[in-house]
Amino acid sequence: MKSYRITVNGNVYDVQVEETNRASAPTPAKATATATPSAAPASAPATGSAPAPATGSGTKVPAPMPGTVLDIKVNVGDKVSANQVVAILEAMKMENDIVTPVAGTVTAVNASKGQTVNSGDALITVAE
């Protein structure tokens, strides 16, 4: 076993890791961590659904910030005008209108109602 001292956000953790030399598929490793008396327990990483693959040709309408899709206002094949609301995104307890920057036809809807998205994820694709 190897011992490491790791500092995360100013908290020091002593960690022991067992090293294996197997070439086969990885198996869950048993690890123990002991925090110093002043350290708080580490928080688990945030989970969210993976973004949908961007399909369709044209201009992508990205999520400007992380959040949850409350509504998609268009379907594939719909004609949209510039600055038309195409989706509603909830972020920081606020509803945000997501508008298309170009006029054209919706070629793909890459997000669904209730989906968690990250900043920059393509919500809608519009072909001019």
Segment 29-48, tens digit of pLDDT: 555 555 555 444 444 444 44
114 with 67, same domain: the answer is: yes
In a domain, 81, yes or no: yes
Distance between CA atoms of 45 and 42, rounded to whole angstroms? 9
Same domain, yes or no: 74 and 111: yes
Q: For 2-26, write each residue's pLDDT tens digit.
A: 888 888 888 888 888 877 776 555 5
pTM of the model: 0.56
Domain count across the chain: 2
Residues 87, 28 share a domain = no
Give dist(CA 114, CA 97) in Å, integer: 15
Structural domain of 86: 59-127
Q: What is the CATH number of the domain that holds 89?
A: 2.40.50.100
**Residue 40: inside a domain, yes or no?**
no
**Chain centroid to CA 113: how far?**
15
81-89, Cβ contacts within 8 angstroms, sequence gap of 24 or more: 86/61, 86/123, 86/124, 86/126, 87/61, 87/111, 87/123, 87/124, 89/63, 89/64, 89/65, 89/117, 89/123
For residue 102, the Cα-to-chain-centroid distance in whole angstroms is: 25
Judged by DSSP in three states, 26 sits in coil
